[in-house]
Amino acid sequence: MARHDLSPSALPSQVTLCEVGPRDGFQFEDEFIPTEEKIACIEALADAGLSRIQVTSFVHPDWVPQMRDAEAVCAALPERDDVVYSGLVLNMAGLERALDTRLTHIDLSIATHDRHSLDNANMTVDKAVEQAEQMIGVAQHAGASVQLNFQTVFGYQSPGDTPLEQVVEMTRHFTGRGLDSLSLADSTGMANPRTIQERVTAVQEVIGSTPLVLHLHDTRGLGLANVMEALSCGVHWFDTSLAGMGGCPFIPGATGNISTEDTVYLLDQLGIETGVDGRAVAEVSHHLEDLLDKQFAGTMHRLWGREVMA
C-alpha cells in the first residue's frame, strides 16, 4: 500500500458530514420512535450545523417498522435553506413514494455483491444495475437529484469478497449520468486502511467530477482509522450517525456508523472544518439514550456534557 501524506497541508481543509442517524440509526431500534421525536431530533441536528441529513427510508413497513412514518416525517420537516434533506430508496415502489413527498434529494442504494443482492433484493447485481438506471431516469425527470450508493463495497461474507473489478465497472457504468454524488458503503464494517486506499483510489480513477462519499460502519473498530486513510486519499464527504447508533437489520452483527461526535472531534483536532458543533449533537444523543433507555457505542458524546434536549 502506498503511503499517503498525513501532514495538515496534504489533508482537505473542509469536510462535509451527512447525518444518517434518523435513518440508519433509527431503523435499528425496536421501540418505535414517535414522529414528533424524530422531527425534533432532525431539527436539533440541523441547528448543530449538519447541512445534509438523511431523514428516512421508503421501505416496506413489514421489513423495517421504524420507517413506517416516512411520509409523515417528510411532511413535518422544518423549512430550511441551509439543510439538504434526503431519503433512501431501494426499489421503484420506494422511489415513487419518495417523489410524492417534499424531498428533492434521493439516495438510491444497490448491491455490488451478487450474494448480498440475492439475499436482500432477490435479484442479481446486473438486474439491480438495470433497475437503478431506470430509477435514476425517473427521479431526474421528476426534478430530484440522486446520490447512488454502492453497498458492501469492502466485503459481504468476508473482507474483500466483493470483486474490485465489479465496483470499478459499476462506477464507470454510472459515471456521466448526472449523479449528485456516488457513495461507497462499508455496510458490514469489513474495510481497513489498506482496502480503503485500494478501492477509493480505483474508483477515483474513473469517477470523473462526481463527488465521492464514504459510508463507514464501525463494526470492527476501524472506522476512524479508515477516515484518516480516506482523508489522505482526498475524500472530503462522509456519512456519520449521532453517537454511532444504528446498523443494518439485514446484515447479522453489523453495528452503527462512525459516530458523528467522534468524527467531528477527530477532524477538529486535525484542523479540518466541518461546521458542526459536536457538543450540540451530543445533546441529541443523550436525549435519545434517555428516551430509549440504552447507551450508544460512540465515545465523545459520553465525555461531553449531558444537557438534555428540551
> Is 41 an annotated catalytic residue?
no
**What end-to-end distance do the CA atoms of the chain give, in Å?**
48
Q: Which of 232, 239, 238 is nearest to 12 (CA)?
A: 232
Q: How far is CA 59 from CA 74, 101, 152, 212, 250, in A?
A: 14, 14, 19, 25, 13
> What does the DSSP 8-state code read for residue 179?
-
Q: How far is CA 226 from CA 116, 206, 221, 239, 306, in A?
A: 23, 21, 10, 13, 29
Beta bridge partners of 56: 87
What distance in Å separates the CA atoms of residue 42 and residue 19, rounded to the nearest whole number?
9
The residue from 18, 41, 233, 248 that is catalytic is: 248
What distance in Å separates the CA atoms of residue 253 and residue 298, rounded to the nearest whole number?
17
The residues annotated with a catalytic role in the active site are 248
